[in-house]
């Protein structure tokens, strides 16, 4: 409990200092949620104090483009990036002596050699092209001040991570026996370099995996994949974002002012997160139903004598509750940012031949105990295990606009401020058939997972591989707890006794094996003469369902936007023919800290007013 409180405190403090935490999912403002673009250009045609039916149809074609890609990358990967201004991750193997253990991602997790070194760069970009179709119906003939609106935005969106990997050193080192598999050849090779992956992109995108032999399997990454810059698919979506409808009543409605309120409903028609890729394109609000209210009003505070010039102040606010939506997301483990790309090992409670000894080289029965589980010869990226169906909701979303409108004959200019806020997401798990508590999974870190019988006992053959129970619950994306220094620098001592393998694993004991009441120690090589006694965990520590960090995914949203719009319109509202209008606008939106995307946009809006 105290550990979790400490982790939460660290996240809060670093957020105040601008050290962004990694956000597994960016909850984006719906392409159709924009009260400013909805309001501009319509002020002369809506909210009329008449006793007849009237209406407006408009279509708005909008293009928006995000900026500040470094800040988006910070949102995705947090402080692991090389610098705040250089959106790059260093992928280095455990045998690289000069690796940065506070920032570098461990290449071993991706099935790469221990002397591998590459740099992955990002320049995230979001593009949107949206066609907003809007209808306003004045229903004064039913009840003075009654109105209804329907808003249907159709959006094309492209989310491009602009991922590029530069391999600095491919690496030539083989993996040693026991580190990944049970193979131990005469030249001390467990996995040949040719059987390991060529680069990090093979792991995070191409679903490739190292060849570890016939007995040990390595599941490819199926969730939280990264799309490189050369690949064009899966970066874009086209869909109707949602259907927005309002039924309202203007309590005050005169020629020069109005005050109204209405019931607002949002019907989700966009896309849902699936979790297969990070930075996946989303159209709409994440498939939430919304219900709330619309508040608005205006006052004409200046009119020239001939009424050719007018100044008006408008206010419009959409306030809704976002109901639970079922989404598929991928989560990190608690207090382990970016742990989605770590490596987990499956364990089995059926323990065969493995023993844990309290003293080195002592295989007396009274000195031995059986661990609760041992390695089951199967690896999987953590993302595959933490992909979950969840329920997501937000208590409140507010989209508010304050606008000054100036009219001179047939020309109109609108400019103002728009603020958007979505409260903290509340995430709860949906019903999942699979949970981590149903199986035994643990973090591998940089632990050796096999030991080998040596020549300690003549009754037992040499070089028999035995799966260990070695786990590293404190491992992070940056490395394990054995603290390798160089390719052969992982031989730490235990309490000053002597060097061993796996000196930093959980619940460290000396590893031994028994065969038909005959026991022997386990080493990292084929004979005890040239090998080190290895350690095992007694008992291993497993990953539990409770460790899945839902809180890190509970994002909020906040942005501030300035806009300006120019419009050509007809002002003769008394005529009985449709009246066309057309205009264009610009906007500049700034996301608040790490809560929302900053973007700029342009739009063209046209429509027809009818009686």
Higher per-residue pLDDT: 535 or 497:
535
Q: Distance between CA atoms of 342 and 106, rounded to whole angstroms?
A: 8
Give the residues across from 311 on adjacent strands.
302, 406
**pLDDT value at position 18?**
41
Among residues 468, 427, 456, which one has the least CA distance to residue 550? 427
* Residues found in the chain: 611
Q: Distance between CA atoms of 383 and 547, rounded to whole angstroms?
A: 13
**pLDDT value at position 2?**
41
| Burial tier of 70 (Cβ tally within 10 Å: 0-12, 13-18, 19+) | middle
Residue 22 above 80 pLDDT?
A: no
Task: State the average pLDDT over residues 250-266.
Answer: 95
pLDDT digits (tens, 9 = 90+) for 473-513: 999 999 999 876 555 555 444 444 567 889 999 999 999 99
**pLDDT value at position 183?**
86
Query: Which CA distances in Å does 6 have to 1, 9, 16, 77, 115?
Result: 9, 5, 16, 21, 35
Give the 3-state DSSP-derived string for 313-349, with helices as H, strands as E and coil as C. EEEEEEEEEEEEEEEEEECCECCECCHHHCEEEEEEC
Mean pLDDT of the chain: 89
The answer to whether 469 and 538 are in contact (CB under 8 A) is yes
Residue 50 above 60 pLDDT?
A: yes
**pLDDT value at position 10?**
36
Among residues 80, 69, 66, which one has the least CA distance to residue 19? 80
pLDDT bracket for residue 308 (50, 70, 90): confident
Which of 82-86, 141-145, 223-227, 460-464 has the highest mean predicted lDDT (pLDDT)? 223-227
In this structure, what are the phi and psi dihedrals at residue 78, rounded to the nearest 5 degrees?
65, -150
**pLDDT value at position 575?**
55
pLDDT digits (tens, 9 = 90+) for 159-171: 999 999 999 999 9
Comparing 34-43, 248-257, 410-419, 525-534, which segment has the lowest mean pLDDT? 525-534
pLDDT digits (tens, 9 = 90+) for 84-122: 778 999 999 999 988 899 999 999 999 999 999 999 999
Residue 272 above 90 pLDDT?
A: yes
Task: State the average pLDDT over residues 314-330.
Answer: 96
Task: State the average pLDDT over residues 312-327.
Answer: 96
Higher per-residue pLDDT: 269 or 453:
269
| Burial tier of 597 (Cβ tally within 10 Å: 0-12, 13-18, 19+) | buried
Of all helices (H) and strands (E), which one includes residue 583? strand 579-591
Which of 261-270, 430-439, 561-570 has the highest mean predicted lDDT (pLDDT)? 261-270
Q: Distance between CA atoms of 7 and 447, rounded to whole angstroms?
A: 25
Residue 433 above 90 pLDDT?
A: no
Residue 5 above 50 pLDDT?
A: no
Residue 181 neighbours by CB under 8 Å, 6+ apart: 175, 190, 191, 212, 213, 215, 216, 450
The answer to whether 248 and 258 are in contact (CB under 8 A) is no
The answer to whether 568 and 410 are in contact (CB under 8 A) is yes
The residue ranges of every structural domain in the chain are 26-338+382-435+546-610
Residue 14 above 50 pLDDT?
A: no
Residue 352 above 80 pLDDT?
A: yes
pLDDT digits (tens, 9 = 90+) for 543-600: 999 999 998 888 889 999 999 999 997 765 455 667 899 999 999 999 987 678 999 9
Percent of the chain with pLDDT over 90: 71
pLDDT digits (tens, 9 = 90+) for 190-239: 899 999 999 999 999 999 999 999 999 999 999 999 999 989 888 999 99
């Amino acid at each position: 409990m105290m550990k979790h409180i400490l982790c939460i405190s660290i996240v809060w403090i670093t957020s105040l200092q601008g050290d962004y935490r990694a956000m597994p999912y960016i909850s984006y403002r719906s392409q159709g949620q924009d009260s400013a673009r909805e309001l501009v250009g319509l002020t002369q045609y809506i909210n009329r104090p008449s006793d007849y039916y009237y209406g407006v149809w408009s279509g708005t074609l909008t293009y928006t483009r995000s900026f500040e890609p470094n800040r988006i990358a910070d949102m995705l990967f947090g402080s692991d990036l090389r610098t705040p201004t250089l959106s790059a991750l260093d992928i280095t193997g455990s045998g690289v002596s000069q690796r940065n253990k506070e920032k570098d991602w461990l290449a071993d997790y991706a099935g790469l050699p221990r002397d591998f070194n590459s740099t992955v760069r990002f320049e995230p970009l979001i593009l949107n092209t949206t066609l907003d179709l809007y209808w306003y119906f004045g229903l004064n003939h039913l009840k003075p001040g009654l109105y209804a609106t329907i808003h249907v935005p159709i959006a094309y969106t492209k989310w491009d991570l602009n991922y590029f990997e530069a391999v600095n050193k491919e690496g030539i080192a083989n993996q040693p026996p026991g580190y990944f598999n049970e193979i131990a050849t005469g030249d001390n090779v467990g996995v040949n370099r040719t059987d390991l992956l060529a680069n990090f992109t093979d792991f995070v995108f191409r679903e490739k995996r190292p060849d570890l032999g016939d007995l040990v399997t390595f599941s490819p990454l199926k969730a939280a994949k990264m799309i490189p810059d050369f690949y064009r698919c899966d970066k874009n979506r086209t869909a109707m974002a949602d259907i927005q409808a309002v039924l309202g009543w203007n309590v005050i409605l005169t020629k020069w002012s109005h005050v109204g309120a209405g019931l607002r409903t949002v019907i989700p028609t966009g896309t849902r997160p699936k979790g297969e890729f990070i930075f996946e394109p989303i159209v709409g609000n994440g498939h939430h139903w919304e219900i709330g209210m619309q508040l608005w009003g205006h006052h004409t505070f200046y009119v020239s004598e001939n009424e050719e010039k007018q100044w008006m102040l408008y206010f419009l606010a959409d306030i809704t509750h976002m109901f639970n939506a079922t989404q598929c997301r991928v989560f990190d483990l608690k207090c382990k940012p970016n742990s989605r790309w770590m490596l987990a090992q499956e364990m089995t409670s059926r323990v065969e031949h493995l023993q844990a000894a309290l003293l080195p080289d002592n295989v007396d029965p009274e000195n031995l105990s059986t661990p609760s589980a041992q390695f089951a010869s199967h690896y999987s990226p953590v993302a595959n295990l933490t992909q979950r169906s969840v329920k997501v909701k937000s208590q409140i979303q507010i989209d508010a606009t304050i606008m000054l409108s100036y009219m001179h004959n047939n020309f109109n200019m609108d400019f103002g401020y728009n603020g958007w806020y979505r409260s903290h997401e509340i995430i709860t798990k949906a019903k999942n058939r699979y949970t981590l508590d149903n199986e035994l999974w643990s973090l591998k870190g940089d632990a050796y997972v096999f030991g080998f019988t040596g020549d300690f006992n003549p009754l037992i053959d040499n070089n028999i591989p035995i799966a260990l129970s070695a786990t590293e619950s404190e491992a992070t994306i940056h490395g394990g707890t054995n603290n390798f220094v160089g390719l052969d620098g992982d031989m730490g001592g235990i309490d000053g006794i002597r060097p061993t393998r796996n000196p930093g694993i959980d619940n460290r004991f000396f590893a031994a094996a028994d065969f038909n009441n005959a026991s022997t120690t386990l080493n990292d090589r084929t004979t005890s003469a040239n090998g080190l006694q290895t350690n095992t965990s007694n008992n291993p520590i497993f990953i539990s369902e409770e460790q899945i960090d839902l809180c890190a995914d509970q994002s909020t949203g906040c942005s501030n936007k300035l806009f300006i719009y120019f419009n050509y319109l007809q002002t003769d509202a008394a005529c009985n023919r449709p009246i066309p209008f057309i205009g264009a606008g610009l906007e500049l939106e700034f996301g608040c800290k790490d809560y929302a995307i900053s973007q700029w946009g342009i739009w063209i809006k046209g429509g027809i007013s009818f009686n």
